[in-house]
Amino acid sequence: DAKTTQPPSMDCAEGRAANLPCNHSTISGNEYVYWYRQIHSQGPQYIIHGLKNNETNEMASLIITEDRKSSTLILPHATLRDTAVYYCIVRVIATGTASKLTFGTGTRLQVTL
Amino acid sequence: DGGITQSPKYLFRKEGQNVTLSCEQNLNHDAMYWYRQDPGQGLRLIYYSQIVNDFQKGDIAEGYSVSREKKESFPLTVTSAQKNPTAFYLCASSIRQGSYNEQFFGPGTRLTVL
């Protein structure tokens, strides 16, 4: 699976959009981009995933560049409860097999008043 | 409610003792996983299982053992051979097949070896 690079930490004011970048310059054509987050001392939570098109769900939006070498997770209106470590992961999806995920150290997002 | 349970939340053991961590899921997922997390680090895969009675080593399997006798259960044993067992242990499960394999995580067990 391709490696990812994320800034170690970011701050965001409550109510503002949080834009979390991820670089995955060695991504291959059949690898998806996943985002998970981990609130302190809890298990990680799935947020969103995508291949090449931009994706949006009730939690966030995922913007993937045209060359797929980087992506941005957008939390449109960050709240204090969004304070967490955010992990960007790229991997191949193979039906019929377990989905091994490789977690890096992620970005620690601190949302402040 | 469907989900994954891990018990206990905190576990203390003396050095040299084996300890078994529980993981149960009622999501009807085929695949289950065990991860280890050290302070300030990401998760590392210990073992995973795609189906009952089958499991594979992950990236850091040494000193650990697992079993998968039932679809709902995937217990992890931390043996005395594991040199640095103190860590946060996370269990997860996923649908084996599908367009994406989102993993659902349990709340974790924090193991401290004294």
* pLDDT score of A110: 98
Size of interface A-B (CB pairs under 8 A): 68
Q: Which residues contact A61 (CB under 8 A, 6 or more apart)?
A: A48, A54, A55, A73, A74, A76
How close does chain A come to B79, measured CA to CA in Å?
23
At residue B1 the predicted structure's pLDDT band, cuts being 50, 70 and 90, is: low
Could B94 and A97 be called an inter-chain contact, meaning their C-beta atoms sit closer than 8 Å? no
Cα–Cα distance measured from residue B32 to residue B72, given in angstroms and rounded to the nearest whole number: 9
* Closest CA in chain B for residue A9: B40
Report the range of poorest mean pLDDT among A8-22, A46-60, A88-102: A88-102
* Closest CA in chain B for residue A33: B100
* pLDDT score of B47: 95
pLDDT tens-digit profile of B70-100?
A: 999 999 999 988 889 999 999 999 887 555 6
Q: At B91, give phi and psi (nearest 5°).
A: -105, 145
Q: What percent of chain B is modeled with pLDDT above 70?
A: 93
A50 near B CB under 8 A: no
* pLDDT score of B90: 97
A93 vs B contacts (CB less than 8 Å): 99-101
* Closest CA in chain A for residue B42: A105
Residue with tokens 């690079």: A5
Distances, alpha carbon A88 to alpha carbons A9, A38, A39, B55, B114, in Å: 13, 12, 15, 26, 34
How close does chain B come to A14, measured CA to CA in Å?
24
DSSP A33-52: EEEEEE-TTS--EEEEEESS
Question: Is pLDDT larger for residue B32 or for residue B101?
Answer: B32
At residue B3 the predicted structure's pLDDT band, cuts being 50, 70 and 90, is: very high
B92 near A CB under 8 A: yes
* pLDDT score of B97: 54
pLDDT tens-digit profile of A25-75?
A: 999 888 899 999 999 889 999 999 999 989 999 999 999 999 999 999 999
Task: Give me the count of residues in chain A.
Answer: 113
